Structure 1
Amino acid sequence: MTETVEITRKRLAMRSMRRGIKEMDLILSDFASRALGGYDATQLALYEALLDESDLDIYHWVSGQSAAPAKFAALVGDITVGAEGLTRPHAT
């Protein structure tokens, strides 16, 4: 049986909350709650591929410590927008 898009969203939201480091739990669960509801199957597949990467790599990409691979660059950019305050203080 093939998983529905709605079940995929719920599964990825749970994976976003249960990461290896607390910072990624906060960043990715916040992103999932904001964005996954509007994602189609293709976007969800890309997000799932990102979740297969190491937490440390994702954190470095989101916090700007290193550049994300080209296939994840736009997605990491979207995650980064909502991560302000989680990866660095809010701009004043």
Structure 2
Amino acid sequence: MTESEMREARLRKLSFRAWRRGFKEADIILGNFADDMLPEMSDEDLDIFEILLEVPDQDLYGWIIERDPTPKEFQSAIMNKLNVYYKTAYTKI
């Protein structure tokens, strides 16, 4: 498998996980974010996004909508982009 094929497989896997969280509000935000942003993300950004997808839905959703403060260990440029994205995501749907 080429590097390009491996990256495409990773993007598909992350998109699938983002769309199928089991929590509708998180699915909508994370799924659309993944569709819009994954192709431009660096491998490091993908690593961070993958870590965020491991966080329980209610915690991650609270951070995204800024209901709860994002713990220091999860603060990143990707988390900041998710915060901004949330504010515009519902205008697309």
TM-score computed with the length of structure 1 as normaliser: 0.82
Residue number in structure 2 paired with 1:28: 30
Give the Å deviation of 1:69.
Answer: 2.3
Give me the CA root mean square deviation. 2.2
Moved over 6 A (4+): none
8 A contact 1:5–1:40 mirrored in 2: no
* Residue equivalent to 1:80: 83
The Cα shift of 1:70 comes to 2.5
What is the TM-score with the length of structure 2 in the denominator?
0.81
Identity across the alignment (%): 32
How big is the shift at 1:86? Answer: 5.5
Question: In the alignment, is residue 18 of structure 1 matched against residue 20 of structure 2?
Answer: yes
Is it true that 1:7 corresponds to 2:9 in the alignment?
Answer: yes
User: 2: CA distance between counterparts of 1:46 and 1:86?
Assistant: 20
| Residue 23 of structure 1: how far off its partner (Å) | 0.2
* Distance in 2 of aligned mates of 1:43 and 1:66: 22
Question: Could you say which structure has the higher helix fraction?
Answer: 2
Aligned counterpart for 2:47 among listed residues 36, 40, 45: 45
